[in-house]
Amino acid sequence: MPKHDFLFVDESGDPGFALDPMTGNLLSTSYYVSAVLHVCDDSFADINKHVAAFRYFSGLNRELKIPPEREEYGRFLGSIKAMSEGGKNIWASAVYLNKLEYNGAYIKPGGRRPADPNMFRNYILRRLLEHHFDQFPLNSSQYDLVLDRVDITAEQNIALRRYLSGNKNIPTPTYLTHASSIYVEGLQIVHHVANGFKNQATYGYGLPAELSFVRGRDITTNQDPFRK
């Protein structure tokens, strides 16, 4: 029986909505994706062995950032998919949106919840966790939430912890950690999950086959009432 759950979260796309004043074209990314890789302590050895073997045989010893169109991407995530579908305690989810069509909180100027990049990231994180835990509950009584946000300030960290702990739809993280994917393998894996949803978020197609184990949800027009 697992004693601890670990959730690794990464994003693809930026949290802004900047328009060129001359042309009106979007200067920021047209999409935003947030993904989570959920691993129990009894499955860490399998993930570590896979990543170590992949590095050895591929010769990729730097931080892993492989574009979805490359063959190595399929080999890297294909084994994670096989482990997840083979009964290992490994799950993944993602939420995504097209910013040009999105009218939710914290992304555009004006309105009840005007543009605020940090609040937008927290809001989408909350929606990601609600989506994930609705399908994949914890297997233990505690969990680490590990975010790829090394630039977060102490005040922002306190605000995020308070924001998540005040939500009755998700369990409160036992530990909230901010780290760099340079040295955290779980963040490198979930980076590729998030990156693989870019075409899905932007155009509605193009999801790599290796991501079929990920429970994705388009939240572009699927708005929910604002909840603290």
Q: What is the pLDDT of residue 57?
A: 76
C-alpha dist (Å) from residue 152 to 88, 147, 148, 155:
32, 10, 10, 8
Taking only the tens of pLDDT, the chain with its 228 residues reads 889 999 999 999 999 988 888 887 888 999 999 999 999 999 999 998 998 888 887 777 667 888 888 899 999 999 999 999 999 999 999 999 999 899 888 998 887 888 899 999 999 999 999 999 999 999 999 999 999 987 888 899 999 999 999 888 999 999 999 998 888 999 999 999 999 999 999 888 889 999 999 999 999 987 664 443
**pLDDT in the model for residue 79:** 95
pLDDT for residue 18: 84
Q: How many CB atoms lie within 10 A of CB 7?
A: 25
- Predicted pLDDT of residue 55: 83
Helix (H) or strand (E) holding 117: helix 117-135
Beta bridge mates, 10:
35
What are the residues whose beta carbons fall under 8 Å from the beta carbon of 204, sequence distance 6 or more?
A: 218
Task: Tell me what pLDDT residue 224 has.
Answer: 62
**The overall pTM is greater than 0.95:** no
Residue 79 tokens read as 């084994």
- Strands (E) across the chain are located at 5-12, 31-40, 90-98, 143-147, 175-178, 215-218
Which tokens hold the place of 170?
A: 């998700």
- Domain range 5-218, its CATH number among 3.40.50.970, 3.30.420.10, 2.60.120.10, 1.10.10.60: 3.30.420.10
Taking the domains of the chain in order of start, what are their residue ranges? 5-218
Cβ contact 194:10 at 8 Å: yes
